Amino acid sequence: MQKLERSIVLLGLVLFAAPGLAQVPGTKLPNGAITPDWTGVWERAQGIRFNPTNELPPFTPAYAERYQKAMAARARGEVIADPTSRCLPQGMPRFMVASYPLEILQTAKQVTIIAEWSSQVRRIFTDGRKAPPDDEVDITFNGYSVGHWEGQTLVVETNGLRGDTSFDATPLEHSDQIKVSERIRQIDANTLEEVMTVTDPVAFTKPWVVTRRFKRGGPDLQIMEYVCEENNREIILPGQTSKP
């Protein structure tokens, strides 16, 4: 009887210890390193402007003029079209502005970020693959993202981005030559910091560096289904005289 009780106690210790394995932060990589665990729902900790400091990007003269004309038109009361108001995806890097919560799902080979806004998905491949060459990559709203871990920091490079999206609801434009680099790290138990470097040799005179933060959502927070057609604001686009 004592032997049976001892076996039960040992089994109980094993079962009790098993959940503790899940408490080891993050995912074990092939090289044995343990990544931080960001699985869960996160919310933006700053405003809805792409750059929390409200500083403009280092526009080239041509793109600065385009921005100034658009802002002057807005000041006159004209509608400045935002493609997302017609249910087009926000695209990268606006994806990370996170007007609604983001959910991160994490494995050794991929970090997946799901945005509640428009139910968009980013896949960051961390399996060692290289990004396709610029002249071969498929051009998409969220681009092609590959990443690797440098210690506790996730380093991401994204190319293959469309040129017809904006950085936020203001007329901050970029060209189809845009590329995005990200360095994401956890600065405390409930805060992620992302340093994003945007390069665009057509629209910018130099790289634009923006830092954003995200707060971990509460235990009951979950992303919801977002069907854009149910929220469509139907803003009239330039050149249109009526809604379609």
Express each pLDDT in 123-152 by its tens digit. 999 999 999 999 999 999 999 999 999 999
Do the beta carbons of residue 114 and residue 102 sit within 8 Å?
yes
More confident residue, 81 or 232: 81
Q: What is the pLDDT of residue 4?
A: 45
Across the range 149-177, mean pLDDT stands at 95
Reply yes or no on whether the pLDDT at 215 is more than 60.
Answer: yes
For the residues 108-113, what does the mean pLDDT come to? 96
Longest dimension (CA), the chain: 88
Would you state the pLDDT for residue 25? 54
Other Cβ atoms within 10 Å of 203 Cβ, number: 25
How many whole angstroms separate alpha carbon 186 and alpha carbon 192?
4
| 234 against 27, higher pLDDT | 27
Given this model, what pLDDT does residue 83 score?
83
For domain 40-230, the CATH architecture is Beta Barrel (2.40)
Which parts of 31-160 are beta strand (E)? 40-44, 102-106, 110-115, 121-125, 144-150, 153-159
Q: What pTM, to 2 d.p., does this model score?
A: 0.82
| Domain boundaries, given as residue ranges, for the chain | 40-230
Separation between Cα atoms, residue 177 and residue 158, nearest integer Å: 11
- Per-residue pLDDT band for 232 (boundaries 50, 70, 90) equals low
- For residue 50, count CB atoms less than 10 angstroms from its CB and return exposed for 0-12, middle for 13-18, buried for 19 or more: buried
CB-based contact 94:198 (threshold 8 Å): no
Phi, psi of 145 (to 5 degrees): -115, 130
pLDDT value of residue 238:
45
Look at residue 181 in the predicted model and tell me its pLDDT. Answer: 98
pLDDT above 80 (res 6): no
- The DSSP output letter for 205 is S
